[in-house]
Amino acid sequence: MQKKILDILLNADDFISGQEISENLGVSRQAVWKSINALKEKGYEIQSVTNRGYRLVSSPNYLNESSLKSHLHNKIIGKNLIVLDSVDSTNDYLKKLGNNGCENGTVVIARGQTKGKGRLGRTWQSKKDDGIEFSVLLRPNAAPSEVSAITPLAGLAVCKAIREYTKLDCVIKWPNDIIVGKKKLVGILTEMSAEFDAVEYVITGIGINVDHTSFPEEIAFKATSLLLETGRHIDKNEFLACVLSHIENEFVKNNLELTPTALAEYTDLCATVGRSVTFQRGTRRISGMAVGVSEHGELKVMMSDGTICLVNSGEVTVQGIY
């Protein structure tokens, strides 16, 4: 009932009377009034004026389905949308849905995660409502070796969305961190379920630091948030809709491949290219100069003897960044 009333208020251009809502939903005006009060308690600002009715002034600034849907116009990514209060990890939750056959483009969002996962076995920690943590499931008709562009395309999309929405000059630290200056704003973790020659699904999990004002000691030197960088709180639902729209756009336009255009855009925004980097090969740490990104998303590193080494995973330290 609250959800139905919220939908009515979200779609109304002006005041709408309690009488009209009650007739519309076939419930008493008393019931409408009660639900309105419950919505106000949840943080919705609803103006009520005698003889005119109710008008939604603002939605609470936490992720919620109604508000997100009112901003989202995608055809695939987020058509099936699940917003959770709290979950262990949106990637793990979506894996279960994936195993049960959920549709291509399903998105799971959580206001808080209790066991958020990072790359290379690390954790991703964020207080409830501080960040935007979500996962996107795709069912590409492809072999495991053919889906390597999904993560860089997602990184490119998120980077473009942040630049557009906040005007921050953020860039990509290969393979998929988004940074401002020398500090990380976004992390991406992609996981896959596949048979030998066919992908069942790919899950791309994205964590964006939004309202954080502090970080755990061990990452404080290299982490930042949109609030710390811009000094402003953003509308999380509107911003996430913008991010999802960029993700759909990059995925569809590039047919899940690093097309020449996508690769050029990615390379342009990649702060790693043109810098000295250090990476691990077996037991050795190797240094070289990052000179580009391959069509499979690998980092091209030029060694001191002029040969090119392709790096496709693991931790790369970039001189002057982290």
**In the complex, least distance from residue 136 CB atom to ligand BTN, rounded to whole angstroms:** 10
Cα–Cα distance between 292 and 86 in angstroms, integer? Answer: 39
Considering the complex, state which of residue 18 and residue 187 has its C-beta at the smaller distance from ligand BTN.
187
Cα–Cα distance between 206 and 126 in angstroms, integer? Answer: 12
Place of tokens 């609250």: 2
> If binding is defined by CB under 6 A, does position 266 make contact with ligand BTN?
no
**Which residue among 35, 106, 112, 124 contacts ligand BTN (CB under 6 A)?**
124
With CB under 6 A as the contact rule, which of the stretches 22-30, 53-61, 110-118, 309-317 interacts with ligand BTN? 110-118
129: left (phi over 0), alpha (psi -120 to 50) or beta: left
With CB under 6 A as the contact rule, which of the stretches 33-41, 148-156, 181-189, 236-244 interacts with ligand BTN? 181-189
**In the complex, least distance from residue 99 CB atom to ligand BTN, rounded to whole angstroms:** 17
**Which residue among 140, 207, 288, 297 contacts ligand BTN (CB under 6 A)?**
207
Helix 18-25 to helix 2-11 angle (10° resolution) is 120
Considering the complex, state which of residue 134 and residue 215 has its C-beta at the smaller distance from ligand BTN.
134
| Total site size for ligand BTN, rule CB under 6 A | 20
> If binding is defined by CB under 6 A, does position 91 make contact with ligand BTN?
yes
Site string for ligand BTN, 41-80 (x = CB under 6 A): ----------------------------------------
* DSSP annotation of 214: -
Cα–Cα distance between 262 and 153 in angstroms, integer? Answer: 7
**What is the largest distance, in Å, between two alpha-carbon atoms of the chain?**
81
3-state secondary structure (DSSP) of residue 102? coil
Q: Which residues pair with 16 in a beta bridge?
A: 54
Bond before 60 cis per omega within 30 degrees: no
* DSSP annotation of 248: H
Considering the complex, state which of residue 166 and residue 209 has its C-beta at the smaller distance from ligand BTN.
209
**In the complex, least distance from residue 122 CB atom to ligand BTN, rounded to whole angstroms:** 5
The residues of the shown chain that bind ligand BTN, judged by CB under 6 A, are: 89-91, 113, 116-119, 122, 124, 133-135, 177, 187-189, 205-207
